[in-house]
Amino acid sequence: MKAEPVNGIQPSLLKWARESANMTTADVADKLKKPIALVDAWENGSSAPTYSQLETLAYDLYKRPLAMFFLPNPPDEPSPKAEFRSLPERDLSALNRDTVLLIRKARAFQLALAELFDGRSPAQAPLWRSVKLTPGRPIPPVATRVRVELGISFEAQLRADNGSDDEALKMWRRAIEARGIFVFKHTFKQSDISGFCLRHAEFPVIMINNSTTKTRQSFSLLHELAHVLADRSGISSFDESRIESLTPRERAIEVFCNAVAAEILVPMADFRAQVVRLPSNVESTGDDQFAALASRYHVSRAVVLRRFLDNDQVSQTFYEAKTREWDAQKDEKGSGGNYYATQNAYLSERFLSEVFSRYARRQISRDDAADLVGVAPKNLARLEDQFMQGVAA
């Protein structure tokens, strides 16, 4: 029996859901293995999908509740273009569906945080109220102020668990979360995106790309932190050439955030003292020496090379060629063996702590807790056990 089209679907909702996922009608047609003309017909109202097709559109492609497609009008929801309106149209159009869905997920976390904490930041002294960054200010005192506010001395950074890049990242992440900024991670399918942040009066959120090395994640985290402290939502890329396509104002912000992150992680005064013994022709320096410096600060070799560029010790051409060479090398990957360990790494530690605390006090149900952390209710206990092991470690 031939499936019948579903009655009552609003064509404008189909178009809105597609566009909000940053998909073209050709993208949808390709996923469904149907003609583009059929998708166009659904959106202009001359035809309608079957129930099975609607389920695929809602749950698999657009990640929306099925009931939404029967509403009279699209919901009032900010789009990435509104959230990041300062970015060039070219960059916004280049965001793929998975990145758009991650931005939507981050917004959902902000709504959940507002509900969990009754609309007020849990931090006694939210960092973005204590430190307000303005591009153009001298970088070293700005970086020192951020480091002092986070309570991480340079000596503590160097000591991070006897040289563990993972522990260094956790140290920065926990210090930032203690001051009210929630840090989430995810494996970005759009691999050139290093992370993004969403500003908020009470619950700013940072999302960083977990698919690369811990040292790169540390830089991305501090870059996004600088965005938050400058009161700017932002999407950042590993491709520095994209900065050149920005407006002068936005280019200045990106350059400033990069400089702040670099100075926090690799203070220039210490860096100069460390490299004084290197050959005067730094471009002849072997990769092992770049790696040794990177290991000292728990950063990537690219960050170290950027400091040489900042110090006028290598050329722009050498910097770009070397970073391309290193980027072509295989990035660090997670084991992917333990789903619950992965979820604990992805989710904000403070967010998880509050969810499990409220669940233990019976202030939220098991179903609500599971929905907040993104697992089936039957698996909530396993995630909680994994979280408690990590806290105790």
Structure tokens at 214: 């811990």
pLDDT of residue 391: 63
- 165 and 115 assigned to the same domain: yes
What's the CA gap between 181 and 197, in Å, rounded? 10
Residue with the larger pLDDT of the pair 143 and 324: 143
- Look at residue 312 and tell me whether its pLDDT is greater than 60: yes
- 118 and 239 assigned to the same domain: yes
- Look at residue 333 and tell me whether its pLDDT is greater than 90: no
The verdict on residue 306 lying in a domain is: no
- 167 and 254 assigned to the same domain: yes
Its pTM stands at 0.87
- 155 and 232 assigned to the same domain: yes
The verdict on residue 299 lying in a domain is: no
pLDDT of residue 224: 96
- 175 and 222 assigned to the same domain: yes
Q: Using 50, 70 and 90 to split pLDDT, how confident is the model at 272?
A: very high
The verdict on residue 286 lying in a domain is: no
Q: Using 50, 70 and 90 to split pLDDT, how confident is the model at 335?
A: very low
The verdict on residue 367 lying in a domain is: yes
Average pLDDT, the chain: 89
- Look at residue 1 and tell me whether its pLDDT is greater than 60: no
pLDDT in tens, 200-241: 999 999 999 999 899 999 999 999 999 999 999 988 888 777
- 119 and 253 assigned to the same domain: yes
For every residue of the chain, which 3-state class applies, written as one string? CCCCECCCCCHHHHHHHHHHCCCCHHHHHHHHCCCHHHHHHHHHCCCCCEHHHHHHHHHHHHCCCHHHHHCCCCCCCCCHHHHCCCCCHHHHHCCCHHHHHHHHHHHHHHHHHHHHCCCCCCCCCCHHHHCCCCCCCCHHHHHHHHHHHHCCCHHHHHHHHHCCHHHHHHHHHHHHHHCCCEEEEECCCCCCEEEEEECCCCCCEEEEECCCCHHHHHHHHHHHHHHHHCCCCEEEECCHHHHHHCCHHHHHHHHHHHHHHHHHHCCHHHHHHHHCCCCCCHHHCCHHHHHHHHHHHCCCHHHHHHHHHHCCCCCHHHHHHHHHHHHHCCCCCCCCCCHHHHHHHHCCHHHHHHHHHHHHCCCCCHHHHHHHHCCCHHHHHHHHHHHHHHHHC
What's the CA gap between 105 and 207, in Å, rounded? 10
Instruction: Output the domain CATH number for residue 73.
Output: 1.10.260
Q: Using 50, 70 and 90 to split pLDDT, how confident is the model at 159?
A: confident
Which structural domain, as residue segments, surrounds residue 362? 339-392
pLDDT of residue 85: 63
pLDDT in tens, 114-149: 999 999 999 999 999 999 999 989 999 999 999 999
The verdict on residue 199 lying in a domain is: yes
Give the count of domains, the chain: 3
Domain termination residue (choose one: 265, 283, 299):
265
The verdict on residue 19 lying in a domain is: yes
Residue with the larger pLDDT of the pair 84 and 347: 347
pLDDT in tens, 370-392: 999 988 999 999 999 988 887 65
- 259 and 118 assigned to the same domain: yes
Give the sign of the dihedral formed by CA 189, CA 195, CA 198, CA 202.
positive
61: closest CA among 45, 42, 47?
42
The verdict on residue 316 lying in a domain is: no
Domain termination residue (choose one: 247, 265, 283):
265
Q: What angle do CA 205, 207, 213 make, to 5 degrees?
A: 145
pLDDT of residue 88: 65
pLDDT in tens, 96-119: 889 999 999 999 999 999 999 999
Paired sense of beta strands 182-186 and 205-209, if any: parallel
- 135 and 216 assigned to the same domain: yes
- 254 and 151 assigned to the same domain: yes
* Phi and psi based region of residue 153 (left: phi greater than 0; alpha: psi -120 to 50; beta: remaining): beta
- 235 and 358 assigned to the same domain: no
Residue with the larger pLDDT of the pair 172 and 390: 172
The verdict on residue 249 lying in a domain is: yes
- 114 and 260 assigned to the same domain: yes
Domain termination residue (choose one: 77, 93, 121):
77
- 129 and 236 assigned to the same domain: yes
